Amino acid sequence: MTAKTIFILNGPNLNLLGAREPEIYGRDTLADIEAACAAAAKASGFEIDFRQSNTEGTLVDWVQEADTKAAGLIINPGAYTHTSIALLDALTAATIAKIELHLSNIHAREEFRKHSVTASAADGVIMGFGAAGYILALDALKSLLEKRSA
């Protein structure tokens, strides 16, 4: 049986993880996080397709692609969380299992970060656990998929 694929999409500036405001986002690089996700996914019988873009339209394209190719989607939309109706619409249209993820607890930060435009399209949101949140999200997605196929 082929492993189910999970898309893990990362938005703007997440390519800078490790160097970018480490007191907020931690010292793990995006490559570290990808490696940890690949290992955790493999142990759960999944494959991951892990991507990052600084461009809103590319993220929209990838959400649409995920809906045709993947069993589930984890997305950290970065700053587009707070602004992107286009991403909200793409996520709303996608019928696969979806988790929104943030390294930081956006509710404990500046006012403008406290609202997520995109979160209403997700099955659930994980935030505030740093890089470990990606592994928590994979776990949550696994149980969502089990529920869906029960």
By annotation, the residues acting in catalysis are 25, 102
Torsion sign, CA atoms 17, 94, 56, 48: positive
The continuous run of DSSP H or E covering 145 comes out as helix 132-149
| Contact indicator for 118, 101 with CB cutoff of 8 Å | no
Q: Which of 15, 44, 58, 104 binds ligand DQA (CB under 6 A)?
A: 104
Nearer to ligand DQA, 71 or 101 (CB): 101
> Is residue 79 near ligand DQA by the rule CB under 6 A?
yes
Residues in region 43-62 near ligand DQA by CB under 6 A? none
> Is residue 113 near ligand DQA by the rule CB under 6 A?
yes
Tell me how many residues contact ligand DQA (CB under 6 A). 10
> Is residue 103 near ligand DQA by the rule CB under 6 A?
yes
Rg (CA), the chain: 14
Q: DSSP per residue over 27-89, as a string?
A: S--HHHHHHHHHHHHHHTTEEEEEEE-S-HHHHHHHHHHHHHH-SEEEEE-GGGGGT-HHHHH
- Determine the interface stretch with ligand DQA among 30-38, 74-82, 86-94, 139-147 (rule: CB under 6 A): 74-82
Locus of tokens 């991507």: 51
In the complex, the smallest distance separating the C-beta of residue 18 from ligand DQA, rounded to whole angstroms, is 13
Q: Which of 8, 37, 96, 106 binds ligand DQA (CB under 6 A)?
A: 106
Q: Which residues bind ligand DQA (CB under 6 A)?
A: 13, 76, 78-79, 81, 102-104, 106, 113
